[in-house]
Amino acid sequence: MLSFLYRLVRAYHREHGYSPNVVMMNREHFRLLTQSLPELADYATLAHFLRMEVILSEDCVHPHVAWRPQARRAAQG
């Protein structure tokens, strides 16, 4: 899962010229990600490691990344 997210971030950066600050995924994706990174199993630690806000949505079939001004301000504060 981590390598998949890494590829999403790199593709987003290539296309837009800046990195995303939000990753959207469903609870199963989140579970798989935290299972592969047990030392980062808590939401805040994982978000800090990824340098992105993590948004959980059951409507999310596949994880995807984006940039939101609100997330950027929250991350800087």
pLDDT for 4:
93
- pLDDT for 63 equals 96
The pLDDT of residue 33 is: 92
Instruction: Give the per-residue pLDDT at 76.
Output: 44
30-68: pLDDT as tens digits: 999 999 888 988 889 999 999 999 999 999 999 999 999
Amino acid at 47: A
Residue 59's Cβ-count burial label (10 Å; 0-12, 13-18, 19+) is exposed
> Model confidence at 71, in pLDDT bands (50, 70, 90)?
low
